[in-house]
Chains A and B, each alone.
Chain A
Amino acid sequence: MKARATLFKIGLLIVFGAVLVLAPTVVPLSYLYTVTDVVILALFAVSFNLLFGFAGLLSFGHAAYFGVGAYGCALLLSLYPSLPVMAAIGAGALAAAVIGGLIGLICVRRTGPYFAMLTMAFGMLVYLVAWKWRGITGGDDGFGSFVPATIWLPIVGSFKSGDLKLTYLGVLAVIVPVMAAVWATLAFTPYGNAVRSIRLNEERAAFLGFNVFAVKALNYTIACAVAGLAGALYAIAHDFISPQVAGLEMSNDVVMMTFIGGSQSFFGPIVGAIFFVIAGDQLSAVTERWQMIMGVIFIAMVMYVPGGFIGGVAKLFSRRPPSVSSSPRVTQWA
């Protein structure tokens, strides 16, 4: 039974991968922007779920690190235009890891609502810095045109920036291995087990000899680094950034897409990002009030489908009667 389910999942992944790679040949060029956003936000949502689904910590300020990555990458490129783009992207992720690591030292000491409030306050702080530090960040107007004329991204090699297809494929070539690495780390390493055990029972994990604080801080730092990477890729893909990339709305969006997709599965946030961006795009063509609809969908899911999309589907197919547990406990990561 388990083998069949695994085969099914692998098949699904292959199909999904093929769709991603073939997307630029199928999708109209004008829509490729949106598809690029989908994969970038999927990475962002996965990084958020490292905290939320995986470590049981709800952050209301995760966009801060997306923003640090985006600004770090963009500022470096505008200061040193001859820098390789990949180096700037890496530096953006590194900047997010350093700043996130420091903020994490304060935040991960607390759990539950305290953690949520602290991350929100620090998220606001980063947003305000981007907004107020006009001399460096361009303030509210944001800044753009920092991507050099010719850029190099893995797999696709050198190409003229502005080529949507190659940008998309290059971004994908960065994202897929990172996602795979994150997934493998969570599923197969002792480190993944340590984080999981802390989420399930922090006290017991401490008694077993885990350094709970260090593991949590490391997990927070990794989540920030991956968010920073997503932010840096966003900056490259858009060639324009403004404080909005670090704002509360962005932080809210990532909470919503992760929950809608299903936080108890590694792939939930990816599904959520696909739904959120594409449905948002379609809805916004029909009505200006698409965010209202998204909010109502979110509330309805919180109330009636607490496992999100993937949780809901899994429940439909599960033969066991629904368990009456007070909190979601078991997490399948594979």
Chain B
Amino acid sequence: MDRGGGMLSAGLTTFIFAVLNSLGYGLLLFLLSSGLTVVFGLLGVLNVAHASFYMLGAYLAYELVQRTGSFWLALIVAPLVLTVLGIICERYMLRRVHALGHWHQLLLTMGLGYVLLEGVKWIWGTESHPMVVPEILTGSINIGGGAYPIYRIFMSVSALVTLGVLAAVLFKTKLGMVVRAAVSNKDMVNALGYNVGYVFTGVFALGAFLAGVAGVIAAPMLSVYPGMAADIGVDIFIVVVVGGLGSLKGALIASLLLGIFQSFGILIVPDFAIFFSFLLMAVVLTLKPMGLYGERAA
């Protein structure tokens, strides 16, 4: 190996890679937890099936790539399918049990997650499927003397772009204003003549869409397997507990924190990195029982 001029020490390279990895995983978590937390803020529903939507997105992408060979097609179609699924779930299932209260909505999404899990096992089997990456995203680039996979960078960038568009819509358009207003007081928005029902459906569908996007872009890196929903599900639950349920800002900070804990945890104690998420949760809950930004949440 050439220990030439522009090369950084191995330790620093490892550090930079860990930072990039934390960012990548943190942004993936935020793609998921943002949908979860906004849906909770607006509908008061904790969507336990959220991670299952992500899993379904990954499986759909896998199937589409197998059949058409186009990753880009999968990146468009799979999230759209999930959007439709989200609309159906909200309008025809969650809304039906709304009058029965929180528990039934929670239980309904739990059952939905269960059925989706059994469904993917049925269709695609229990084994793990590797997913091919389009040619342009294979290979790696040289960062500080180490080879960093291009796909991981693509993952972070596409998550950033998606979230950027979302933020622009949410904070710069009238539609976004109505949604934000509905989160803080839905009855008032309803009285002002907006159809809050449509806002509910739209936001739930948007959450499903984001979960689909996350599933597609995560699939080539994490591969596609039935346990993927439970694996990331616990992490996004920890994110929203740490950040405060209903808070976007909290979800962002907690996602990035969790990404850092995971990526650096793997460097320090490879076998037990997974416990770092729990450590973070225990520390935050001891200091701030409502989560970082959870004051508003009941």
Binding site for B on A (CB under 8 A): 58, 60, 106, 109-110, 112-114, 116-118, 120-122, 124-125, 128, 132, 248, 252, 255-256, 259, 289, 291-292, 295-296, 298-299, 302-303, 306, 326-328
Contacts and interface: CB of A to CB of B under 8 A. Distances in A.
A248 B52 CA distance: 14
Contact of B115 (A120, A125, A292): A292
Contacts of B261: none
A114 B115 contact: no
B178 interface: no
Contacts of B119: 292
A121 B240 CA distance: 12
Contact of A295 (B102, B118, B230, B298): B118
Interface in B164-183: none
A50 B112 CA distance: 25
B241 A121 contact: yes
A295 B114 contact: yes
Given A122-B278, A292-B119, 20 more contacts: A106-B285, A113-B102, A117-B241, A125-B275, A125-B278, A128-B274, A132-B271, A248-B230, A252-B110, A255-B107, A291-B114, A291-B118, A292-B115, A295-B114, A299-B108, A302-B104, A303-B96, A303-B108, A306-B100, A327-B101
Contacts of B282: 106
B122 A289 contact: yes
A298 B114 contact: yes
Contacts of A296: 115
Q: How large is the interface on B (under 10, 10 to 19, 20 to 34, 35 or more residues)?
A: 35 or more
A110 B289 contact: yes
B56 to A, nearest CB: 14
B29 interface: no
A116 B106 contact: yes
Given A110-B289, A125-B275, A128-B274, A306 B104 contact: yes
B96 A120 contact: no
Nearest to A327: B101
Contact of A298 (B103, B111, B298): B111
Contacts of B278: 121-122, 125
B118 A302 contact: no
Residue from the set A113, A255, A291, A303 with the largest chain B CB neighbour count within 10 Å: A113
A252 B229 CA distance: 14
B131 to A, nearest CB: 24
A252 B114 contact: yes
Contact of B102 (A109, A112, A120): A112
Contacts of A106: 282, 285
27 contacts: A58-B107, A106-B285, A113-B40, A113-B102, A113-B106, A114-B241, A116-B46, A117-B245, A118-B241, A118-B285, A121-B234, A121-B278, A124-B234, A132-B271, A132-B272, A252-B114, A255-B107, A256-B114, A289-B118, A292-B122, A295-B114, A299-B93, A299-B112, A302-B107, A306-B97, A306-B100, A326-B101
Interface in B245-287: 245, 271-272, 274-275, 278, 281-282, 285
A327 B101 CA distance: 6
A302 B111 contact: yes
Main secondary structure of the interface of B (DSSP, over half): helix
Interface in B154-207: none
B32 interface: no
Contacts of A291: 114, 118
A327 B114 contact: no
Could you say which of B100, B107, B237, B282 has the most chain A C-beta atoms within 10 Å of its C-beta?
B107
Interface string B23-38: 0000000000000000
A296 to B, nearest CB: 6
Nearest to B107: A302
Contact of B111 (A58, A114, A125, A295): A295
A253 B162 CA distance: 36
A204 B48 CA distance: 31
Contacts of A118: 241, 285
Top-8 shortest CB links A-B: A113-B46, A295-B115, A299-B111, A292-B118, A327-B101, A295-B114, A117-B237, A298-B111
B77 to A, nearest CB: 25
B18 interface: no
B136 interface: no
Most buried by B among A112, A121, A255, A289: A121
A303 B97 contact: yes
Contacts of A327: 100-101
Given A116-B46, A121-B278, A327-B101, A256 B111 contact: yes
Which of B119, B234, B241, B245 has the most chain A CB atoms inside 10 A of its CB? B234
B245 A113 contact: yes
Contacts of B230: 124, 248
Contacts of B114: 252, 256, 291, 295, 298
B1 interface: no
Contacts of B241: 114, 117-118, 121
A292 B106 CA distance: 19
Contacts of B93: 299, 303
B292 to A, nearest CB: 14
Nearest to A251: B110
B228 interface: no
